[in-house]
Structure 1
Amino acid sequence: MQKIGKIVVVAAAALALSACGQAPKTQAAAPAGPPVPSSSAAQATQSKGRECTAEDVKTTGKFGEVPTITVPDDCDPPKKLVTKDLSEGTGEGAKAGQKLKMNYLLVTWSDKQKLDSSFDRGQTFDLNLGAGDVIPGWDQGLAGIKQGARRLLIIPPDLAYGDGGGRMKPNETLVFVTDAVAVG
């Protein structure tokens, strides 16, 4: 009986601490999908000996098509933001303050599962670049994108959700394929 009481007290304390936590400064770039359970085994993975690059992450699909993302098993997630244009687009590159209409697919690094996709909803995600409407990895990673471009973003936890939140595991690296449907 005493053991159960301790579990209840610990659970209540954890709930109270999470409720008192600081409100996020940014909103999710792609908030949807089922809750993802935390796994201490996934958090305590051993290094593979090298950081992955954009070339290690495989994608399929052309601009406007639903992409696929394959996260590799043989390298560690990058510690810095990685961007790679998969198709160039046209016109001026996006600048801070401009409105963007984006489509995206989000895969989490730790479990290599799709967490969200605007392609599935058939509706773009709209934002003001550089205004803090989205996670910092999007504000930084989408700078310079041109209309009609498809860009791969690999976003480390410090530019995403850090210690977690919502359906995001703590210290999760995020992998997006983004399409710039409209810039400006």
Structure 2
Amino acid sequence: MSATLPTASGSFGDKPELTFPENAAPADLQVQVLEQGSGAVVEAGQTIEVDYLGQVWGGRVFDNSYDRGSSIGFPIGVGRVISGWDSGLVGQQVGSRVLLSIPPHEGYGPMGNPRAGIGGDDTLVFVVDIIGTR
């Protein structure tokens, strides 16, 4: 367990709140399993069903599925989402809660995502509850 990563409140299925450490964001992708699931292993090419909260390191929440009340599904491990999600979620087990710290080069890159208020040098932190695969 790394002291350099944010901590998340709640458990699987609860909307988390992140508490950030004083240090700067890690330069590389960090993946921390907060709650280990016991379901099937997520494989590249599957569609993964998740609830998630996304927040800029030390900044504001830019998206979360908990407030919408519906999870989302998308192909994983095939380049359809930011590379930090592909790298960090393939190989995890269904039922797991995973914290991802995603540096800009594995997030939205130097252009950021202006519509979401994400700058080109923002590190993104996600808490992802893996609900299932198909």
Which structure carries more strand by proportion? 2
What's the TM-score once normalised by structure 1's chain length?
0.67
Q: Deviations over 1:105-151 (max 9, x none)?
A: 01101x42111101111111211111212100001110112111100
What residue in structure 2 maps to residue 179 of structure 1?
Answer: 129
Q: For structure 1, which runs of at least 5 residues remain unmatched after alignment?
A: 1-52
Instruction: Number of aligned residue pairs: give it.
Output: 130
Identical-pair percentage: 38
CA positional deviation for 1:54: 5.8
- State the partner residue of 2:65: 118
- What is the root-mean-square deviation in Å for CA atoms of aligned residues? 1.4
Which amino acid in the other structure matches residue 104 of structure 1? Answer: Y
Partners of 1:154 and 1:98 in 2: CA distance? 22
Deviations 1:150-180 (A, max 9, x none): 0000000000011113331121100000000
Query: What is the deviation of 1:55?
Result: 5.4
1:43-98 residue CA offsets vs partner (Å, 9 max, x unmatched): xxxxxxxxxx465411111100111111222x111111000111111133111011
- Distance in 2 between residues matched to 1:169 and 1:55, nearest whole Å: 21
User: 1:71 aligned to 2:20?
Assistant: yes
1:157-168 matches, within 5 Å, as 157-163=104-110, 164-166=112-114, 167-168=117-118
CA distance in 2, matches of 1:157, 1:91: 30
> Higher RCO, 1 or 2 (CA under 8 Å, sep at least 6)?
2
**Is the helix fraction higher in 1 or 2?**
1
- Whether the 8 Å CA contact 1:161–1:171 is kept in 2: the answer is no
**Segments of 4+ in structure 1 off by > 6 A?**
none
- Aligned counterpart for 2:7 among listed residues 29, 52, 58: 58
CA distance in 2, matches of 1:165, 1:118: 18
Cα distance in 2 for partners of 1:138, 1:54 equals 22
